[in-house]
């Protein structure tokens, strides 16, 4: 994950399983907006990262790739420092799409952001 947005934002993947993905991201100078709170775009990047890694876990890696198709997010609570944790769970697994529910919480498990991400599963090109 070198030379990627994941590295730039300090995202760490803690768990990947059939149950979902858990990932963390610091709230610091890399992820704050000018008013000193967590940037909504950083939350969305964390959410899509968790969904993407989750989708990758389920695909046929020899013959398929997965890419984000749609994402939405509701920002519930402001956060100015510390760490946020994304917990991504699979809603729907089809042949060509997966829908993921991602809840981003703070250290006290209070909801910071809720997101839904649709991943597209594509055949690898030869």
Q: Which of 15, 48, 107, 109 is catalytic?
A: 48
* Residue 12 known to be catalytic: no
Please report which residue ranges of 18-74 form alpha helices under DSSP H.
40-58
CA distances from 110 to 8, 78, 79 (A): 25, 11, 11
User: Is 76 within 8 Å of 104 (Cβ atoms)?
Assistant: no
Q: Which residues contact 108 (CB under 8 A, 6 or more apart)?
A: none
Catalytic residue annotation: 48
């Amino acid at each position: 994950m070198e030379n990627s947005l994941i590295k730039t934002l300090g995202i760490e993947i803690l768990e990947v399983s059939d149950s979902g993905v858990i990932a963390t991201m610091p709230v610091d100078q890399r992820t704050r907006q000018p008013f000193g709170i967590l940037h909504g775009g950083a939350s969305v990047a964390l959410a899509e990262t968790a969904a993407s890694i989750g989708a990758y876990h389920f695909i046929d890696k020899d013959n398929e790739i997965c890419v984000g198709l749609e994402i939405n997010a509701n920002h519930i609570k402001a956060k100015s420092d510390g760490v946020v944790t994304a917990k991504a769970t699979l809603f729907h697994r089809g042949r060509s799409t997966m829908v993921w529910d991602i809840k981003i919480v703070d250290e006290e498990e209070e909801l910071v952001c809720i997101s839904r991400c649709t991943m597209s599963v594509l055949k690898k090109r030869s």
